[in-house]
Amino acid sequence: MLFCGAVLIYSLIVICLSWSEIREGLAIGRGEELLAKGQYEQALTVFTKLIDSNPDSEKLYHSRARAYLGLKQYERAILECEIGMGKSNSITSYYNYLNLQAIIYTQIGDYQRAGEICAKAISAVPHFAQAYSIRASVYFYQRDYYHALKDCEKAIQLDSSNTLAYKVKGWIHAKAGEIDKGELLKAIDCFTKVIRVEPRDGETYYNRGLAYYKLGEKEKALSDFDRLIRLGTSSELSQKAGELIEQIRKSN
């Protein structure tokens, strides 16, 4: 009887733990979905509650940092990365936090610091693609297109599905398209590859639509601008897309 009772108690504990893990997994999924939709305030609430319940889960700080980044609360986002790195129990986790910090510093405009962090990440894990693609974006903003393109190619060589590398490569070709229209076709190809993997990436629909618009392919441009607006991921880009849609329709 004692043995059976012990087994029953153990089974109940396992069931409770499993349900707790399932519930946390569902909440994380919900939070990630909110991040993908650009609903950063709601995502922040979800991840804060999860961290309150499980403060030792280092991966949660990465998600909350991204919510703060979306809200442009950069100092809080950097602090979350520092906390997460302090709790990291693997080189991969540490690497991911370095990459996120580099993205934050890039958005702030501190390209020197962002570049230093990327170099540190590459030194730690040289066979991972993401640090190369982030550094490519840093080079792009510094208008060093040669090194940006080299890092894009390296990232794609390491990971052919690395969307950030294709984004930055697309930006470079779109920039070159101001002089050579043929470069716009290369930009469109890069942006299309991103959209295949990330069909909710509103910014890339906007960039591809702009490339189509500059090539005179108005229907394709309208389709991309309309898709961006329906996604609702960026009010600023949606406004710009709406203005371009109005211009195209007036010119027809």
Q: What is the DSSP code (8-state) at residue 233? A: S
Q: Given this model, what pLDDT does residue 20 score?
A: 66
pLDDT, tens only, 174-217: 999 999 999 999 999 999 999 999 999 999 999 999 999 999 99
Is residue 63 over pLDDT 50? yes
Positive or negative CA dihedral for 148, 152, 153, 157?
A: positive
Q: Given this model, what pLDDT does residue 134 score?
A: 95
Closest by CA position to 154, among listed 196, 164, 144: 164
Q: Given this model, what pLDDT does residue 3 score?
A: 44
pLDDT range class, residue 155, cuts 50, 70, 90 = very high
Q: 129 by DSSP, 3-state: which? A: coil
